[in-house]
Amino acid sequence: MTQQTDPLELERQVCFALSVASRSVVAIYRPLLEPMGLTHPQYLVMLALWQHAPLPVAWCGASGTAATSAASP
């Protein structure tokens, strides 16, 4: 008898794989960003501002490039 695979298994979910990949990327960046006092979301905002400067700060939240946590002080 063949074993059936459950399509709802966590390991079969694309969102799970993306979450694991995202956490892995952030973990790689963390030691590089810590000396600058930046989190990964803050780093992404800095890149967006550098690429499109000069920009108003409100653009970051409206453009969807920034996570909410990056906009906090």
Q: Read off the tokens for 65.
A: 């490039």
What is the predicted pLDDT for the residue at 52?
Answer: 79
- Report yes or no: 45 and 17 within 8 Å, Cβ to Cβ: no
Scanning the structure block, which residue is given the tokens 């979301």? 41
Scanning the structure block, which residue is given the tokens 């800095």? 46
What is the predicted pLDDT for the residue at 35?
Answer: 97
Amino acid (one-letter) located at 73: P
Residue 46's contacts (CB-CB under 8 Å, 6 or more residues apart) are 38
pTM: 0.60
pLDDT tens-digit profile, the chain (73 residues): 557 888 889 888 999 999 999 999 999 999 999 999 999 999 988 888 888 777 777 776 665 555 555 555 4
